[in-house]
């Protein structure tokens, strides 16, 4: 049988501690009595700090290297804490852009950094719940047509500026309508309802191939959050396999066959979660956790299962409302085991 030197042309090093990682490197750790190697994995790492804290998002849009954190709240408390700023991310740092016309939180944001959409939410005005839509061209926001359902917050949705969808949400006095609407860049059209009415869910996909997961429902037994997943085929919703972890107010992105949900709040006892899961169109698989458990942050809505960000969010500690975590490829140390 060939040995490692015969295959690779050099021996495995014996080292007292793990070295600076080099792709493909193999070594024996003499302190831990373990054979180790460098491998590539997709993990969370620290990103740039938000210029304005985001305690509860208005919306997220774009990608890891060209993203937006739109409006939201900068702290707990009344709607007076709503911010209107659009924050732009280049994959390294955040800069302030032009304000939205109507500052809001618990809204839906989607699209790209140069063609974004923001709709619904709760505003600092009377009435507080809002149906207003705004479009962003990379510089400024322009008001568009309202959603047909009227006032609603805590919606879920995805898509692009000219082909977006929203579903679920809450309205006064705290109902869960379960309605869905699609947007063609000009007007909203009501289509078939969700099977399970919910608010604060994760979402991904398009107006003809969407997915919604998690959230909170009107079912008293699911007050901490649900794990239910549904897929949209352009006509109706179909129930698929549940997520592994019940939660609501999670970050999300991706497509119907490659969706990503991360963070959130839920059982037990409304705990903040760091768990991240990917969906392949059939089932959910846990991947690397966030470094900081939190909910209601702004995600790169157009991100993927291998490239996205999560900015701000409620961690329970004000100094961390400005953190950003990036999800992408990274070198990690693996230990060879014998089974």
Domain range annotation of the chain: 4-41, 50-322
List, for residues 222-262, the tens digit of each pLDDT value.
777 999 999 999 999 999 999 999 999 999 999 999 999 99
Per-residue model confidence (pLDDT) at position 125:
65
Model confidence at 332: pLDDT above 90: no
d(CA 100, CA 103): 6
The CB density around residue 21, as the number of other CB atoms within 10 Å, is: 14
Residue 74 — pLDDT band, cuts 50, 70, 90? very high
User: Which carries the bigger pLDDT value, residue 123 or residue 117?
Assistant: 117
d(CA 244, CA 67): 28
Domain at 50-322: CATH code: 2.120.10.80
d(CA 90, CA 88): 7
Model confidence at 154: pLDDT above 70: yes
User: Which carries the bigger pLDDT value, residue 246 or residue 126?
Assistant: 246
Tell me which residue of 296, 311, 272 sits closest to 93, measured CA to CA: 311
Mean pLDDT rounded to a whole number for the chain: 90
Model confidence at 120: pLDDT above 80: yes
User: Which carries the bigger pLDDT value, residue 196 or residue 130?
Assistant: 196
Residue in the block written with tokens 């995600």 = 299
Per-residue model confidence (pLDDT) at position 112:
98
Tell me which residue of 80, 87, 22, 32 sits closest to 54, measured CA to CA: 87
Mean pLDDT of 4-18: 63
d(CA 35, CA 37): 7
Burial, 35: exposed, middle or buried (Cβ in 10 Å; 0-12, 13-18, 19+)? middle
Model confidence at 338: pLDDT above 60: no
Which residues, at least 6 apart from 100, have a Cβ–Cβ distance to it below 8 Å? 58, 70, 71, 84, 86, 118, 134, 141
Strand partners, 73: 56, 82
Residue 27 — pLDDT band, cuts 50, 70, 90? low
Q: Please give the structure tokens belonging to residue 108.
A: 């839906």
Hey, is 225 helix, strand or coil?
Answer: coil
Hey, is 197 helix, strand or coil?
Answer: coil
Residue 149 — pLDDT band, cuts 50, 70, 90? confident
d(CA 115, CA 339): 51
Per-residue model confidence (pLDDT) at position 227:
97
Model confidence at 156: pLDDT above 60: yes
Per-residue model confidence (pLDDT) at position 2:
62
pTM over 0.85? The answer is yes
Model confidence at 91: pLDDT above 90: yes
- The percentage of residues in the chain with a pLDDT greater than 70, rounded to a whole number, is 86
- Residue 184 vs residues 106, 206, 207: alpha-carbon distances, Å: 22, 12, 9
d(CA 112, CA 339): 46
For residue 6, what is the DSSP state? H
- Residue 63 vs residues 23, 100, 114, 319: alpha-carbon distances, Å: 26, 20, 11, 25
Q: How do strand 26-29 and strand 13-15 relate by DSSP bridges?
A: parallel
Hey, is 69 helix, strand or coil?
Answer: strand
Per-residue model confidence (pLDDT) at position 1:
57
Mean pLDDT of 122-127: 74
Residue 296 — pLDDT band, cuts 50, 70, 90? very high
Per-residue model confidence (pLDDT) at position 39:
54
Residue 77 — pLDDT band, cuts 50, 70, 90? confident
Residue in the block written with tokens 């500026």 = 161
Per-residue model confidence (pLDDT) at position 29:
76
User: Which carries the bigger pLDDT value, residue 35 or residue 218?
Assistant: 218
For residue 147, what is the DSSP state? P
Q: Please give the structure tokens belonging to residue 267.
A: 């059982």
The CB density around residue 178, as the number of other CB atoms within 10 Å, is: 19
- Residue 161 vs residues 7, 66, 164, 206, 316: alpha-carbon distances, Å: 53, 15, 6, 11, 33
d(CA 69, CA 282): 30
- Residue 281 vs residues 133, 178, 184, 211, 237: alpha-carbon distances, Å: 30, 22, 25, 9, 14
Model confidence at 75: pLDDT above 60: yes
CB 86 within 8 A of CB 70: yes
User: Which carries the bigger pLDDT value, residue 5 or residue 274?
Assistant: 274
| Alpha-carbon torsion (96, 98, 103, 105), positive or negative | negative
d(CA 265, CA 314): 10
């Amino acid at each position: 049988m060939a040995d490692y030197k015969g295959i690779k042309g050099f021996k495995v090093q014996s080292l007292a501690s793990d070295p600076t990682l080099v792709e493909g490197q193999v070594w024996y750790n003499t302190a831990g009595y373990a054979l180790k190697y460098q491998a590539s994995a997709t993990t969370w790492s620290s990103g740039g700090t938000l210029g304005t804290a985001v305690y509860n998002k208005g919306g997220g849009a774009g990608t890891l290297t060209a993203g937006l954190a739109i409006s939201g709240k900068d702290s707990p408390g009344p709607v007076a804490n709503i911010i209107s700023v659009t924050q732009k991310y280049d994959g390294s740092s955040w800069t302030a852009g032009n304000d939205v016309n109507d500052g809001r939180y618990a809204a839906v944001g989607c699209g790209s950094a140069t063609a974004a959409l923001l709709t619904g939410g709760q505003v600092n005005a009377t009435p507080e719940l809002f149906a207003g839509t705004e479009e962003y061209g990379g510089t400024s926001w322009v008001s568009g047509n309202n959603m047909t359902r009227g006032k609603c917050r805590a919606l879920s949705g995805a898509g692009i500026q000219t082909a977006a969808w929203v579903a679920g949400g809450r309205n006064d006095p705290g109902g869960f309508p379960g309605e869905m609407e699609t947007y063609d860049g000009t007007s909203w059209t009501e289509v078939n309802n969700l099977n399970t009415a919910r608010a604060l869910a994760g979402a991904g996909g398009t107006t003809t191939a969407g997915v919604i997961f998690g959230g909170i429902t009107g079912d008293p037994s699911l007050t901490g959050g649900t794990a239910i997943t549904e897929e949209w085929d352009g006509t109706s919703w179909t129930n698929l396999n549940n997520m592994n972890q019940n939660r609501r107010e999670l970050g999300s992105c991706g497509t119907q066959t490659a969706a990503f949900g991360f963070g959130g709040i839920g059982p037990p006892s409304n705990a903040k979660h760091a768990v991240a899961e990917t969906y392949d169109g059939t089932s959910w698989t846990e991947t690397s956790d966030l470094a900081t458990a939190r909910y209601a942050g702004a995600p790169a809505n157009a991100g993927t299962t291998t490239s996205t960000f999560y900015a701000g969010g409620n961690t329970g500690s004000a100094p961390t409302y400005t953190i950003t975590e990036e999800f992408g490829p990274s070198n990690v140390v693996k230990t060879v085991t014998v089974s």
